Every structure is written in C-alpha cells, then in structure tokens.
Chain A
C-alpha cells in the first residue's frame, strides 16, 4: 500500500527510513504492538515506559504548560496521544540526518510541516506558500525562510480530526500558520493557537520568537508584520 522512494544515496536513505521506523514502532497509535498503544490502553504504564517515550511525553506536557493547556497530549477519551510532538521530532531527525550526510540545502515537507536548510540554487531563500483557508485550491500568502524562521507549520480545522467538534464563532480561528526556528515550536504553537484562539496567540507570541498568520471564521486575520502587503 505504501510506496517509498527516496532520492539520496543509500546511506542517507537508510538512515532516514531507520529513524522513522524506530519512531513509528514506538509511537504509532495505529500499531497495536507499539509502546504508545499499550500506554493508550493503560496510562499507568507511563511510569515504567522507555526513556524514549517518557522523554517525548514530558516534552508534550511541557508544551501543555507553556500554551496554557491549548496544546495537550491528553485526548478527551483518555488516550495519551503524542503524535503532535512525535511528528515534529521525526522531521527534525530527518533533517539532522540530511545534514549529517552532507546535504546543506534542502526543503523538507512532511505532511504540510516544512523544515528547510540553506537556500535554493539561485541563492533565493526557500519560500513557503500558505493556502487560502476559504479556497484551499488557491495560494494566499507566503513567507521566506531565514535563520529563526527555518520551520513553518499550518494547522487547519480539517486536521483537528473527526473527534473534535466545536462551534465556529466569529473569533474562532480556522487556520493558523506559525513560522519559527524549529519545527516542533512551529507545529505545536500552530495547533495550540488554532485550538485556543486569540488568547493563546497573545500568550505564546510573548514567549516565543515566531511569526503568525491566523485567519478567523468571520474573515478577520491576525498577522505578524512579515505577512503584510
């Protein structure tokens, strides 16, 4: 069902696949035999979990605290879901491996999360497009990457899952893009702001060096200066 094709030399390819495989074996909730699934069925197992799992778990809990609860690994049904941080860590690991294998200029897009290194062949920065939340077939805005903004993540209501339902009110965000120095910060804060709204936006942008483009259901937008025309 899955077809994987990677263009780098065999060593790089195998290293990236190996890193993903390890993360998937431990953290995938789609695998019944993963550590994450076992803990999902019995949360008391966290106490005796692997160092790798506990490290990821406490990372997620730290983000819970930092976002005032807007980001949380605790699903309403009680299952611990670390996918928010695991995804970012996987992308970071892939990026580290690319660099370790001598690739300096690249643009990695993993399920919509973007991490870049260096620049394009022309010397221009990697430029990241953002879709129009009202017409997802159209590009709306963009941001040029640079040190401090090498990672871009976008959260939308479509990605929040079928389990989450909320009433769209006039000041509810329907799409949030965050540009940051690292992909975990970008990813977590995009998710947090989408869920927590303006209050969360104002809380986190005081504490983190990020650019934000957030659009609300009523058509208003909160945008950092880099996104202004």
Chain B
C-alpha cells in the first residue's frame, strides 16, 4: 500500500530561510508556487488556501482550531520505513511536534566505503534532467526549475 505520491510545487519566502522554499509532493491535482517580490502565476484548485501580502484569504472549509492535548498519530509506513508523530496542542495551536522514524532499509550497507576521494570532474555521475525531482543549492536555476515544473503541472 505505497501511497500514491502527491506532486505540488510550492515556493514560499520566509525571513529565516533566505531566498525561498518549495515543497513538492505528488498529488497530481494541486500546484502552487510563489516567488519573493515577483508576481507568479499559479495553478490552484478549489481547496487551495492562498495568501497575499501576508494575509490569508478565507477558504471554503473555514478556519480550524485544535483541542489542547497530546496526540500520537498512527504509525505510517512508507516506502523506506515508518514514522510515528506526536503532536502537542496548547492554546489551540501546535506547540510541539516530534517524529519517531524507523528506517526500513539497511543503512549500514549504504554507508560502507562512502568516503570521498579525489577525481576529475568528468568522472562524476551525470544528471538526467528528466529524472531529477528537484535541485539542491539556492540558485536561480532552482527557482526557474520549480516555476517550470509548476507550469508543466498546470497543463497536466
């Protein structure tokens, strides 16, 4: 029962994060992006909450408040292991989230001999841009990639 992965590209800016951030999860139905200081066209669905200039517009589902207490979620198994999350609510807000993750894979076999060694640049494994999900490194490329991904998904 591997969950159907959800795909959505998001860029949001926050002071502590610097240039911007993006969340991609596989959904197939929802996509949204934003870029600092620019007007970004985004594809949205009826269930998407949107914010402009720091204010949240009302969504059809209305606002959500939580009851105070500590709640442990069900242990969720995913492709590579499982996670159990515990959430603490205080004053109607999430005040603590802790997650316990169990790796299903054998980490030891992956870590054998992973020491870096010197080599020529041309000996490095090439990327296949068709298969890359996202790009590490805060570059204009990342933003462009995500914007492009978003526009492609908007057509899907």
B74 → chain A closest CB, angstroms: 9
Interface of A is mostly: mixed
**Which residues of chain B (58-85) have a CB below 8 Å from chain A?**
59, 61-64, 66, 73, 76, 78-81, 83, 85
Q: Cβ of B152 < 8 Å from any Cβ of A?
A: no
Q: Cβ of A35 < 8 Å from any Cβ of B?
A: no
Say yes or no: B64 contacts A229, CB within 8 Å: no
**Which residues of chain A (65-116) have a CB below 8 Å from chain B?**
83, 86-87, 90-91, 93-100, 102-114, 116
Query: In the assembly, what is the distance between CA of A119 and CA of B54, in Å?
Result: 32
Say yes or no: A130 contacts B16, CB within 8 Å: no
Say yes or no: A11 contacts B137, CB within 8 Å: no
Say yes or no: B119 contacts A228, CB within 8 Å: yes
Query: In the assembly, what is the distance between CA of A143 and CA of B10, in Å?
Result: 22
Q: Which of A107, A152, A153, A228 has the most CB of B within 10 A?
A: A107
A103 proximity list for chain B (CB < 8 A): 6, 25
Say yes or no: A2 contacts B111, CB within 8 Å: no
Query: In the assembly, what is the distance between CA of A137 and CA of B38, in Å?
Result: 20
B40 proximity list for chain A (CB < 8 A): 3
B39 proximity list for chain A (CB < 8 A): 3
A27 proximity list for chain B (CB < 8 A): 16
**Chain A residue, CB-CB nearest to B142:** A112
Interface string of B1-30 (1 = CB under 8 A from A): 011111110101111111111111111101
Which of B61, B107, B121 contacts A147 (CB under 8 A)? B107
What range describes how many residues of B lie at the interface?
35 or more
B124 proximity list for chain A (CB < 8 A): 140-141, 213, 221, 223, 227-229
**Chain A residue, CB-CB nearest to B21:** A110
Interface string of B80-116 (1 = CB under 8 A from A): 1101010100000110011100011101001101111
A142 proximity list for chain B (CB < 8 A): 125-128, 131-132
Q: Cβ of A121 < 8 Å from any Cβ of B?
A: yes
Which of A9, A96, A147, A153 contacts B104 (CB under 8 A)? A147
Q: Cβ of A117 < 8 Å from any Cβ of B?
A: yes
Say yes or no: A128 contacts B133, CB within 8 Å: yes
Say yes or no: A128 contacts B21, CB within 8 Å: no
A222 proximity list for chain B (CB < 8 A): 116-119
**Which residues of chain A (126-169) have a CB below 8 Å from chain B?**
126-131, 136-137, 139-142, 146-150, 152-154, 156, 158-159
Say yes or no: A18 contacts B94, CB within 8 Å: yes
**Chain B residue, CB-CB nearest to A15:** B94
Which of B25, B80, B120, B128 contacts A106 (CB under 8 A)? B25
With contact pairs A111-B138, A156-B137 given, residues A201 and B116 touching in the complex (Cβ less than 8 Å): yes
With contact pairs A3-B34, A142-B127 given, residues A98 and B47 touching in the complex (Cβ less than 8 Å): no
Using A3-B53, A205-B114, A209-B107 as known contacts, list a sample of 11 further A-B pairs with CB atoms less than 8 Å apart, ordered by residue number in A.
Answer: A5-B48, A7-B44, A31-B15, A99-B83, A106-B5, A109-B23, A128-B134, A130-B135, A142-B125, A147-B107, A213-B124
* Nearest 7 interchain pairs by C-beta: A110-B21, A112-B138, A106-B25, A154-B137, A105-B5, A129-B132, A147-B103
- B residues in contact (CB < 8 Å) with A: 2-8, 10, 12-28, 30-37, 39-40, 42, 44-45, 47-54, 59, 61-64, 66, 73, 76, 78-81, 83, 85, 87, 93-94, 97-99, 103-105, 107, 110-111, 113-121, 123-129, 131-142, 145-146
A–B Cβ pairs within 8 angstroms, 16 of them: A3-B39, A5-B33, A6-B12, A6-B32, A96-B99, A97-B94, A117-B83, A118-B80, A119-B80, A120-B7, A124-B131, A147-B107, A159-B138, A209-B114, A220-B119, A225-B114
